[in-house]
Amino acid sequence: MEPANIDRTVFPEAAALEAESPTFSARGRRRPFAVRNLAPYGYISPTLLLIFVLMVIPIAMVVSYSFQDNVIVQKNPVFAGLANYTKVLTDPVFLTAIKNTLIFITLSTIAHLVLGLAFAMMLNTGLLSGLTKAVFRIIYILPWLFTIAVVAVIWRLMLDPYGVINYILTSIGVLQSEVNWLASPSTALWALTFINIWSGYPFFMISLLAGLQGISADLYEAAAVDGANGIQRFFNVTIPQLKPVLISMAVLDLIWTSQQFALIWMTTGGGPLNVTEMLSTYTYKQAFSSYEFATASAAAVIVLLLTMIMAFFYVRQLRER
């Protein structure tokens, strides 16, 4: 027996019943039902395609390269098992690069957070006038406006043995003679880290300023009523309220800084004597200078795994929020 002809625009519940009922869907309505099921995939397909082409395929290729020998440069590469990973992990330069990268990203992230929070609190304080804060806001954000190439050129000039930094430090008596900040093995890594801190703190400052402005004044008033002084309010109100932002920013910064390449390449190139060699420059040199694409791929996969660990904590933090 045929079902009654129901006007589903008048009786929407009937339409819902039809969608759920196998009896309805089995009768000459299969095509629209299939279209309805496919439609969501259609909408996300451009994104899926882009992710597949731009991320999944390249990552899969790099992973496969890392298990082959003489890949790309030889027409018929052979399977090499874990040989490339063994080679990379026993290369003293790679181990140096890991150590340097850890120092570089840890110091950068801590300094970014401290400086960013300090400047953000200054810009959020009620002790300064609006005009003063506007002026400082512009000054503080300036490093963020320069592209990394400009940052590298500026600091190479300033840190030159005959540059302005040495001139000032020798003039005021801090230094007895000029220091080769970027060319001396004892100072290059610290100088490079300093440049990275300088160029990266404004992003933290802006993000934390937004976080500070989102903290309700009621909390500070309540703390004041309870007799909390400035330091206590900072540690018991400001920091807990900013904690989600601080953790997210810190994890993101660890990931971003570990991928820093341009600044290192344009200032020290990993030298002198490998003291500023990072995972990024090591991988690049393996690929585009030594043409050891298999080794470079193995190094890249190791970097990917390390980054994924950090990304895991980032995602977990987001979920907790």
Give the angle subtended at the CA of 224 by the CAs of 221 and 230, to the nearest 5°.
110
Among residues 1, 4, 5, 9, the one that binds another protein under rule CB under 8 A: 9
198 Cβ contact list (under 8 Å, min separation 6):
143, 151, 155
Query: Whose Cβ is closer to another protein: residue 9's or residue 129's?
Result: 9
Please state the closest distance from residue 283 (CB atom) to another protein, in A.
14
State both tokens at 4.
């009654």
Please state the closest distance from residue 100 (CB atom) to another protein, in A.
14
Q: Which residue has the tokens 């589903």?
A: 8
Please give the sequence-ordered ranges of beta strands (E in DSSP) within 72-215, or none if there are none: 78-79
Question: If we measure between CA atoms, which residue out of 91, 56, 74 comes closest to residue 295?
Answer: 91
Q: Which stretch binds another protein (CB under 8 A): 8-16, 19-27, 119-127, 300-308?
A: 8-16
Among residues 193, 199, 267, 283, the one that binds another protein under rule CB under 8 A: 267
Give CA–CA dist 92/254, Å, rounded.
23
205 Cβ contact list (under 8 Å, min separation 6):
115, 116, 117, 119, 120, 123, 140, 141
Q: Which stretch binds another protein (CB under 8 A): 95-103, 114-122, 213-221, 286-294?
A: 286-294
Q: Which stretch binds another protein (CB under 8 A): 109-117, 125-133, 182-190, 233-241?
A: 182-190
By CB under 8 A, tell whether 188 contacts another protein. Answer: yes
Among residues 58, 81, 185, 214, the one that binds another protein under rule CB under 8 A: 185
Please give the sequence-ordered ranges of beta strands (E in DSSP) within the chain, or none if there are none: 68-69, 78-79
Give CA–CA dist 107/95, Å, rounded.
18
By CB under 8 A, tell whether 218 contacts another protein. Answer: no
In the region spanning residues 155 to 174, those forming contacts with another protein, defined by CB under 8 A, are 156, 160-162
Q: Where are the alpha helices (DSSP H) in 26-71?
A: 30-51, 57-65
How many other CB atoms are there within 10 angstroms of residue 226's CB atom?
Answer: 10
In the region spanning residues 19 to 78, those forming contacts with another protein, defined by CB under 8 A, are 32, 35-36, 38-43, 45-46, 49, 53, 72-75
Give CA–CA dist 183/25, Å, rounded.
75
Among residues 20, 125, 290, 312, the one that binds another protein under rule CB under 8 A: 290
Among residues 77, 143, 244, 271, the one that binds another protein under rule CB under 8 A: 271
Give CA–CA dist 41/38, Å, rounded.
5
Among residues 62, 183, 245, 306, the one that binds another protein under rule CB under 8 A: 183
Which residues sit at the interface with another protein, rule CB under 8 A?
7-10, 32, 35-36, 38-43, 45-46, 49, 53, 72-75, 156, 160-162, 178, 180, 182-185, 188, 265-274, 281, 285, 288-291, 293
